[in-house]
């Protein structure tokens, strides 16, 4: 079955370390997105990519980086510059059509100690 | 700028009671509207969507929503809730070119026995 796979589900890192979250989709979707979710703050867009080798900053891009070398993959790196990295991270993908909506991965919970 | 407002951050309700989760949007152009559900520590799943046609949209798990253009609302309803409906619910609107979604802040539905 097609879908989005995020790995790992839980991730622990020491403060000051960079960490990369994986997101892979086999839906042949054009666009991919990364969101951060904190209690009571809904979904906040970090980065999105509408086509391979191109991506745009979202509302809270500082301290994060992404790449889109393949259509299927959109990894997110949480750098040491991100002041409060502990959060639940969600990856999503969609076709480039307004009526399509998003398909979400199951999320990665990052805890920095 | 387009925005989505979910009017209640938390909605407690007893099992088998009806429930309405409210969503208002602001947009000067035609929109496509979505409701998603998120269970704890999981990604978001699509409940239903309004694209065009009938203003009453039926979704999964017995949920339905009504699009009201004059009031710019898209409220979600269920006539009789179950304990298993306890989750967070997100309203979203698709605007502009491509498929980018704008999400509301979420409503936490808590169903009590």
User: Could you please report the per-residue DSSP string of B58-75?
Assistant: E-GGG-EEEEETTTTEEE
**Alpha carbons A19 and A65: distance in angstroms, whole number:** 10
Considering only CB atoms, which chain A residues are within 8 Å of B36? 102, 104
Q: What is the pLDDT of residue B41?
A: 86
Quick: pLDDT tens for B12-23. Answer: 999 999 999 999
Q: Measured between beta carbons, which residues in chain B are less than 8 angstroms from residue A43?
A: 90, 103, 106
Structure tokens at A24: 């892979």
Question: B27 in contact with A at a CB cutoff of 8 Å?
Answer: no
For residue A48, the chain B residues in CB contact (below 8 A) are: 100
pLDDT tens-digit map of B90-106:
999 987 666 788 899 99
Q: Which residues contact A77 (CB under 8 A, 6 or more apart)?
A: A18, A19, A20, A21, A64, A65, A66
CA-wise closest residue to A50 among B49, B31, B38, B96: B96
Contacts of A18 (CB under 8 A, 6+ apart): A77, A78, A79, A80
- Which phi and psi (to 5°) does residue A15 adopt? -60, 140
Structure tokens at B37: 């559900």
Using alpha carbons, list the distances in angstroms from residue B36 to A54, B41, B45, B77, B98: 27, 15, 5, 13, 19
CB-based contact B43 A98, cutoff 8 Å: no
**Radius of gyration, alpha carbons of chain B:** 14
Q: Which residues of A57-89 are buried (b: 16+ CB within 10 A; e: fewer)?
A: ebeebeebbbebeebbebbbebeeebeebebbb
Task: Answer whether A88 sits within 8 Å of B101, measured CB to CB.
Answer: no
Q: Identify from A5, A27, A42 which residue to disrupt to test chain B contact, counting B C-beta atoms within 10 A and taking the largest count.
A: A42
Query: What's the mean pLDDT in A52-70?
Result: 96
* Closest chain A residue to B51, measured at CA: A99
* A28-42 pLDDT, tens digit each: 999 999 999 998 788
Q: Mean pLDDT in chain B?
A: 92
Structure tokens at B69: 């253009």
Cα nearest neighbour of B99 on chain A: A98
pLDDT at residue B94, as a whole number: 87
Residues of chain B with pLDDT under 50: none
Provide the pLDDT confidence category of residue A102 given band limits of 50, 70 and 90: very high
The alpha carbon of residue B60 and the mean position of all alpha carbons in its chain are separated, in whole angstroms, by 12
The answer to whether A3 contacts chain B (CB < 8 Å) is no
Any B CB within 8 A of A60 CB: no
What DSSP character marks residue A42?
-
Q: Which of B34, B43, B97 sits opposite A101 (nearest CB)?
A: B34
CB contact under 8 A, B46 and A90: no
Of B41, B45, B98, the CB nearest to A31: B98
Q: Please state the rounded mean pLDDT for residues A41-60.
A: 93
């Amino acid at each position: 079955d097609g879908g989005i796979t995020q790995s790992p589900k839980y991730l622990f890192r020491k403060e000051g370390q960079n960490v990369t979250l994986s997101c892979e989709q086999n839906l042949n979707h054009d666009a991919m997105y990364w969101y951060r979710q904190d209690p009571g703050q809904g979904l906040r867009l970090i980065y999105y990519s509408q086509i391979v080798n191109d991506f745009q900053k979202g509302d809270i891009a500082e301290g994060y980086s992404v790449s889109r070398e393949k259509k299927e993959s959109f990894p997110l790196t949480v750098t040491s510059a991100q002041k409060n990295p502990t959060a639940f991270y969600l990856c999503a993908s969609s076709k480039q059509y307004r009526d399509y909506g998003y398909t979400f991965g199951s999320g990665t919970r990052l805890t920095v100690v | 700028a387009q925005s989505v407002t979910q009017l209640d951050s938390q909605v407690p309700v007893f099992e088998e009671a009806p429930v309405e989760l409210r969503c208002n949007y602001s947009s000067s152009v035609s929109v496509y509207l979505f409701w998603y559900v998120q269970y704890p520590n999981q990604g978001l799943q699509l409940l239903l969507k309004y694209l065009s046609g009938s203003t009453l949209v039926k979704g999964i798990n017995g949920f339905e929503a009504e699009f009201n253009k004059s009031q710019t609302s898209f409220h979600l309803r269920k006539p009789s809730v179950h304990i298993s409906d306890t989750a967070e619910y997100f309203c979203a609107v698709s605007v502009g070119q491509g498929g980018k979604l704008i999400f509301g802040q979420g409503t936490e539905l808590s169903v009590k026995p």
